[in-house]
Amino acid sequence: MPDDPAPVLTVHLRTVPEAAVVAAEGDLDLGTAPVLRSGARAALAGEPGALIVDLGGVTFCGSAGLQVIAEVVAAAEAAGLPFAVVAAGRPVLRALQITQLDETLALHRTIDGARAWIRERAA
């Protein structure tokens, strides 16, 4: 029986007028959480005006992924940056709800919603 392939997570960085966006796709678990951590750190190093982490393409979110999200929240707060998470899929939403992280961060279903929230904060 062949071994299951290792989980894969890809992270893409881009900027929109309101923020740096870190978009992740794939499984977010112990083996792949460092990929998201690295992407978020790279985005923060660019000193953006705000940060959006887009987890819309995440198909699984384990405790290590939640830990990275909590780390990014703390880093954004320390830098005084607005921080939003985009998630619409059940794997991420359920993990955020179970841990009650959904109550402590700005959670949006779309990038446009997160961008609008950032614009409102700046006004």
| Largest Cα–Cα separation, the chain | 58
Can you give the CATH number for the domain in which 52 is found?
A: 3.30.750.24
pLDDT digits (tens, 9 = 90+) for 19-59: 999 999 999 999 999 999 999 999 999 999 999 999 999 99
Q: What percent of the chain has pLDDT over 90?
A: 90
Name the residue range of residue 104's domain: 9-122
Residue 99 DSSP class: T
Contact indicator for 95, 67 with CB cutoff of 8 Å: no
- Report yes or no on 4 lying in a domain: no
Split into its structural domains, the chain has a count of 1
Q: What percent of the chain has pLDDT over 70?
A: 94
Are 67 and 33 in contact, with CB atoms under 8 Å apart? Answer: yes
Residue 1 lies in a domain: no
- Is residue 65 one of the residues assigned to a domain? yes
Q: Does the residue 3 lie in any domain?
A: no
**Contact between residue 52 and residue 114 where contact means Cβ atoms under 8 Å apart:** yes
